Amino acid sequence: MRFTLPKHATVSLAVFDASGRRVRQLAAGTFSAGEHTVSWDLRDEAGRAVSAGLYFARFASEEGELVQKILALK
């Protein structure tokens, strides 16, 4: 996943399952202005592979929030 920040900002990027439970925190903290890339290896916080299905990536910063659907296929 790629995001661009217009200025130095605190951000959070996490993946949630269809029930709204957090599966994995991918990024949290302060990032500099510019483009950033974060990948998800389709594993949960404990390192277990997730099941096939629909997930949601939620990106939040001081500027607002964006949710993107992710379809995990096996």
Reported as a single tens digit per residue, the pLDDT across 3-12 is 999 999 999 9
Please give the structure tokens belonging to residue 10: 């605190």
Instruction: Write the CATH number for 29.
Output: 2.60.40.4070
Q: How many domains does the structure of the chain reveal?
A: 1
Cα 35 to Cα 15, 48, 64, 73: the distances in Å are: 20, 29, 17, 27
Range of the structural domain that residue 65 is part of:
2-72
Please give the structure tokens belonging to residue 57: 């990536």
1-57 residue pLDDT tens: 999 999 999 999 999 999 999 999 999 999 999 999 999 999 999 999 999 999 999
